[in-house]
Amino acid sequence: MEHEALEMLETIARNLCRERMRREGVGRYAAESEARLREVFFQEHKGDADLRRSVLRLLDAGDCEAELEGTQLFYLGLQMGLELGRLNLWNQS
């Protein structure tokens, strides 16, 4: 159950981050650039399905690695927040 809650928080945070990136200039620009470059690549290599599949597998592997890294950083941030929340910073003597 504990992991389900973390996964749900991660999903919410990731979706909020993606929405924010879509609204802001840099994120929107990056998504549009990626879409244009992908389309140009597919047009240039229309007849080479094997190459296209290989490139897509390579991109998927890189995306998967980035996704896992982001997940681990999110969990680390949550853990740090929990640990900091336990500190008694107010000396109540």
At residue 93, the pLDDT reads: 58
Report CA-CA distances (Å) from 55 to 17, 43, 47, 51, 68: 27, 14, 14, 6, 20
At residue 50, the pLDDT reads: 92
The two tokens of residue 59 are: 């991109």
Calpha distance 39→73 (Å, rounded): 32
Return averaged pLDDT per consecutive 10 residues of the chain, 93 residues in all.
73 80 77 88 90 90 82 83 76 62
pTM: 0.50
At residue 51, the pLDDT reads: 92
Give Cβ neighbours of residue 70 (< 8 Å, ≥ 6 apart): 14
